[in-house]
Structure 1
Amino acid sequence: AKGKLAMPSPLTSGAATIHMDALTANPDLGWAYYEGLADQGANPKGGNGGTYKAVAGGEKLYGFVVDFLPIREKLKGAPVEFVFPEEGVSAVTEPVAILSTAQNPDAAKAFVDFLISEDGQKLAASQGYLPAHPGVAAPEGFPARDRIKLMDFDPATALEQDQANKMKFSEIFGG
């Protein structure tokens, strides 16, 4: 696969940052995993959309990308496959919060309540996202939730080590 790998950069993508933190914290993978990717000619850049396009367009054979993009687009006929690695995947969430400075906190609370409700999660699933609500079925193309192995992730440690990890990543990839 030398020279045929696409991946987003944690320097520009939050999802790629979470993925980097989960992989490098895994004792079986660690930074050696990224060093191996660099040796194979991976050239991380941009976000997940660019990575997906590089693979779907045939420029690259393989890519590290958030699950919903290739799963959703394959259903529309794109020439891609998504593989959930046996070692596990990082969990990239779509967080939501109400700021203390919100001008209309009641409306904000109603919106958040909708997002996490069964109807809100059905909307997320209709957009191709894996819903968090256990009563809402995963979109077509996803395996059953209990077949998706999640890697350990400690957000507090990731935040604490964020700058050091990004510097290490830059050293490995020459960015």
Structure 2
Amino acid sequence: KPELKNMTTLPSPLYSGAAQIHMATLMNDPQLGFAWYEKLKANGAMPQSGNGAVMNAITSGSKGYGVLVDYMAIREKAKGAPIEFVFPKEGVSIVTEPVAMLKKAKNPDGAKAFIDFVLSDAGQRLVLKQGYLPADANLPAPEGFPARESIKLMPYDPAKALADTDANKKRFADLFGNR
């Protein structure tokens, strides 16, 4: 919208893994694709390095709107920030908080114990308490989130995203510069 000119910010996929995943998701959506980024640029959107910088721009009032991971905005609102988070009707990209063990881990037993804890009921309840959406669908969504079943997930192909990473980053840099 013209009245939002120069008021929007977004994280850069050149710095943020979540922004890379989001870009890969949008690039595979024929209704959005790279045109979504071109429209943002045409309306003066200014990338920040990552989601933290986007959150700071929004909470400081230097930008009125931002593309941001859900839990950050929802946490800040709970702390009293005058912001709202909107889950887009088109859906959201799937950005997970993975846990894994390296093949050459120096302490594989410790790593396995940690993974087992994170995936346990107690670990998933801690994830929920920290404001993240737990992997365990039997647990509720965190405070401030809509019901889990109302969140529409956009299709995501991790193998294609990985294969397209360099090309997507180049397109972004060509459009916005190395921000």
TM-score range relative to shorter protein: over 0.9
The size of the alignment, in residue pairs, is 175
* C-alpha distance in structure 2 between counterparts of 1:137 and 1:17, whole Å: 28
* C-alpha distance in structure 1 between counterparts of 2:164 and 2:79, whole Å: 39
- Who is 1:42 aligned against? 45
Q: Are 1:62 and 2:68 matched, yes or no?
A: no
* C-alpha distance in structure 1 between counterparts of 2:105 and 2:42, whole Å: 47
* C-alpha distance in structure 2 between counterparts of 1:127 and 1:6, whole Å: 26
Q: Are 1:10 and 2:13 matched, yes or no?
A: yes
Letter in 2 for 1:61: G
Q: 1:21 aligns with which of 21, 24, 31?
A: 24
* C-alpha distance in structure 2 between counterparts of 1:16 and 1:57, whole Å: 21
Q: Secondary structure at 2:47's aligned position in 1?
A: coil
Q: Per-residue deviation at 1:110?
A: 1.0
- Cα shift readout 1:101-139 (whole Å, capped 9, x = no counterpart): 112211111110111112111111111111111122211
Q: Per-residue deviation at 1:174?
A: 2.8
Sequence identity (%) = 57
Q: 2:124 aligns with which of 104, 121, 126?
A: 121
Matches within 5 A, 1:125-164: 125-164=128-167
* C-alpha distance in structure 2 between counterparts of 1:117 and 1:81, whole Å: 32
Letter in 2 for 1:77: G
Q: Secondary structure at 1:129's aligned position in 2?
A: coil
Q: Are 1:73 and 2:76 matched, yes or no?
A: yes
Q: Secondary structure at 2:11's aligned position in 1?
A: coil
Q: CA RMSD in A?
A: 0.9
* C-alpha distance in structure 2 between counterparts of 1:136 and 1:109, whole Å: 23
- Who is 1:101 aligned against? 104
* C-alpha distance in structure 2 between counterparts of 1:108 and 1:5, whole Å: 41
Mind listing any 5+ residue stretches in structure 2 that lack a counterpart? none
- Cα shift readout 1:143-166 (whole Å, capped 9, x = no counterpart): 111100001110100100110111
- Who is 2:94 aligned against? 91
Query: What TM-score results when the alignment is normalised by the length of structure 2?
Result: 0.95
Letter in 1 for 2:140: A
* C-alpha distance in structure 1 between counterparts of 2:57 and 2:101, whole Å: 36
Which protein has greater RCO, CA pairs closer than 8 Å, 6+ apart? 2
Query: What TM-score results when the alignment is normalised by the length of structure 1?
Result: 0.97
- Who is 1:165 aligned against? 168
* C-alpha distance in structure 2 between counterparts of 1:33 and 1:138, whole Å: 29
